[in-house]
């Protein structure tokens, strides 16, 4: 049809005539790929034609087995074994990391939070992948401490937002990476900042291509700046402001006025401050470590005193103070992540 409208299911079709003799057989091997130009596509075809398909399949299986066999569990539940040993790590790497896709989002953009959280699920499978992803995400930070929520490959164009949880993920992922691998040297990696227009009063996001500056800072400094900003974005009660949304992007209007709170982000920030304070001490940044631990204590008391709904923890609050995730709520009475964290 030639249409590319939203909601349609576009496809491309390639046809070829093949003569099969009576009683004979033909083996077909299809290569699917993409390239920027016809010349590049032709070169790719010639490269891949030169390798036997069965050998290519065997090499691919060997590569996946080397990745998947890192962690194997054996339980009485065969379905669980299949999920843990095969499908979940495969899906996390193939879909979330390589394709940067999902069931309803298939833009191919790098998501700051997405890449870090998904990489942590594969930390034991491939520590180098986690290291690379942490540094890749750190390169998308502005000097003010906030980051691009997502950006496109090749062009680096992306969106600067008021989404509140992004600034906690870098320190969370880094602390976890160091805990598992012992590679504290990653903290000394020097990385350039990006720079661009700051969001104005009442502005929720802005899409643009940032400038890559000549100013650099260590990964530790990046994590510290982000955590300092997260602490700064606190309500008078001591809870994190939800601002343009937290882990649930769909809650982007809950605190658009700058007063709504996120209980889940409170738990997440509490965990990260507690985990990253020892990292700060190891870097000789005792003052910051003490500040973070002090805020963690304030945050914990605020969560217990203001977020408990009687039987479960609320999800947050709207700008006018109305609870979200309360037994009194008309909808969304309880949210899992405010409990699991």
- Which pLDDT band holds residue 281 (cuts at 50, 70, 90)? very high
Q: Burial code of 178-199, b = ≥16 C-beta within 10 A, e = fewer?
A: beebeeeebbebebebbeeeee
Long-range CB contact pairs, 61-67, < 8 A, 24+ = 64/90, 67/93, 67/125, 67/126
Q: Burial code of 213-230, b = ≥16 C-beta within 10 A, e = fewer?
A: eeeebbbbbbbbbbbbbb
Beta strand pairing status for 211-218 and 190-195? antiparallel
Output 174 or 30, whichever has higher pLDDT: 174
**Which CA distances in Å does 212 have to 155, 162, 195, 216, 262?**
12, 21, 6, 10, 32
Span 40-73, pLDDT tens digits: 999 998 888 878 888 888 999 999 999 999 999 9
Long-range CB contact pairs, 200-204, < 8 A, 24+ = 204/161, 204/162, 204/244, 204/252, 204/256
Chain mean position to CA 73: 26
Q: Which of 321, 326, 324 is nearest to 309 (CA)?
A: 326
Asked whether the predicted pLDDT for residue 243 surpasses 90, the reply is yes
* pLDDT on residue 103: 72
Cα dihedral sign, 335-336-340-341: negative
Asked whether the predicted pLDDT for residue 318 surpasses 80, the reply is yes
Q: Is 291 in contact with 281 (CB distance < 8 Å)?
A: no
Span 205-228, pLDDT tens digits: 999 999 999 999 999 999 999 999
* pLDDT on residue 33: 86
- pTM score of the predicted model: 0.89
Q: What angle do CA 27, 32, 38 make, to 5 degrees?
A: 120
């Amino acid at each position: 049809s030639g249409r590319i409208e939203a909601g349609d299911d576009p496809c491309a079709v390639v046809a070829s005539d093949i003569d099969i003799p009576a009683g004979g057989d033909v083996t077909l091997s299809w290569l699917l790929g993409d390239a920027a130009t016809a010349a590049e596509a032709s070169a790719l075809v010639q490269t891949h034609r030169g390798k036997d398909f069965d050998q290519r399949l065997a090499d691919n299986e060997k590569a996946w087995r080397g990745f998947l066999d890192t962690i194997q569990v054996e339980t009485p539940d065969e379905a669980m074994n299949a999920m843990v040993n095969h499908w979940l790590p495969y899906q996390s790497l193939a879909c979330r990391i390589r394709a940067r896709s999902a069931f309803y989002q298939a833009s191919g953009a790098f998501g700051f939070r997405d890449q870090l959280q998904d990489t942590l699920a594969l930390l034991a499978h491939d520590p180098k992948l986690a290291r690379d992803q942490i540094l890749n995400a750190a390169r998308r930070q502005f000097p003010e401490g906030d980051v691009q929520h997502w950006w496109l490959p090749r062009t680096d164009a992306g969106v600067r937002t008021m989404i509140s949880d992004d600034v906690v993920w870098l320190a969370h992922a880094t602390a976890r990476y160091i805990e598992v691998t012992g590679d504290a040297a990653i903290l000394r990696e020097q990385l350039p900042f990006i720079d661009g227009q700051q969001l104005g009063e009442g502005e929720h996001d802005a899409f643009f291509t940032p400038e890559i500056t000549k100013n650099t800072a260590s990964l530790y400094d990046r994590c510290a700046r982000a955590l300092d900003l997260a602490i700064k974005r606190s309500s008078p009660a001591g809870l994190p402001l939800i601002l343009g949304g937290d882990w649930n992007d769909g809650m982007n209007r809950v605190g658009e006025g700058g007063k709504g709170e996120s209980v889940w982000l409170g738990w997440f920030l509490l965990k990260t401050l507690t985990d990253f304070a020892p990292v700060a001490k190891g870097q000789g940044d005792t003052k910051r470590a003490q500040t973070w631990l002090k805020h963690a204590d304030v945050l914990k008391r605020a969560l217990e005193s203001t977020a408990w709904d009687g039987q479960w923890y609320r999800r947050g609050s709207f700008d006018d103070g109305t609870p979200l995730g309360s037994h009194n709520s008309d909808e969304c009475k309880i949210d899992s992540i405010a409990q699991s964290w």
